[in-house]
């Protein structure tokens, strides 16, 4: 898999953990934690950082048909479409408590390892990891996200039972 200069350098932007957005996220995920909805300075839900791509200055580049995830293009390779892309994994590692409402985070996404595996049906699957770091105003690492996008060698054919 080839990567552009932008993909090699990664993407950087600033994200503010906004109280209103944090509460919207808690409602959307049907959180039962009342702190998210009532506290003045609640800690963010652990999966809230998945929304960080919405804080980018420019919309994420997308492969034909789209792309998703944190960072420049969610790990999608130029020329690959949705019909061949799978979200393989998403993991968040925190180096203390998750950020609280009002925290300003510096976000930097960069490509991680790339590798291939042969699937059970004989096709090659290309795995591309994307690593996203979240740093606070002091430059300290708050969290790190590891996402994996899988590109299949061909789009699926047939119905749900194939």
Could you state, in order of their start, the residue ranges of all structural domains in the chain?
Answer: 5-152
User: What span, in angstroms and rounded, lies between the C-alpha atoms of 36 and 32?
Assistant: 9
Q: pLDDT: is 152 or 8 the higher one?
A: 152
Q: What pLDDT was estimated at residue 6?
A: 44
Contacts of 139 (CB under 8 A, 6+ apart): 106
- Give this prediction's pTM: 0.76
The CB density around residue 77, as the number of other CB atoms within 10 Å, is: 20
Cα 70 to Cα 35: distance, rounded to the nearest angstrom = 26
pLDDT, tens digit, 9 for 90 and up, residues 75-123: 444 555 778 888 999 999 999 999 999 999 999 999 999 999 997 776 8
Instruction: Compute the C-alpha angle 29/10/145, nearest 5°.
Output: 35
Q: Which residue has the higher pLDDT, 157 or 113?
A: 113
pLDDT over threshold 80, residue 63:
no
Domain topology for 5-152: Thiol Ester Dehydrase; Chain A (3.10.129)
Percentage of the chain surpassing pLDDT 70? Answer: 75
């Amino acid at each position: 898999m080839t990567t552009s200069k932008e993909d090699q350098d990664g993407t950087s932007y600033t994200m503010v953990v906004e109280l209103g957005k944090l509460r919207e996220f808690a409602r959307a995920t049907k959180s039962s934690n009342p702190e998210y909805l009532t506290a003045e300075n609640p800690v963010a839900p652990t999966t809230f950082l998945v929304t960080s791509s919405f804080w980018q200055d420019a919309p994420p580049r997308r492969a034909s048909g789209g792309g998703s995830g944190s960072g420049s293009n969610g790990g999608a390779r130029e020329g690959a479409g949705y019909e061949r892309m799978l979200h393989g994994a998403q993991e968040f590692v925190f180096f203390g408590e998750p950020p609280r409402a009002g925290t300003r985070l510096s976000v930097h996404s960069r490509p991680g390892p790339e590798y291939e595996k042969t699937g059970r049906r004989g096709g090659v699957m290309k795995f591309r990891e994307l690593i996203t770091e979240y740093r606070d105003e002091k430059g300290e690492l708050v969290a790190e996200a590891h996402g994996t996008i899988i590109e299949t060698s061909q789009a699926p054919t047939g119905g749900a039972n194939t």
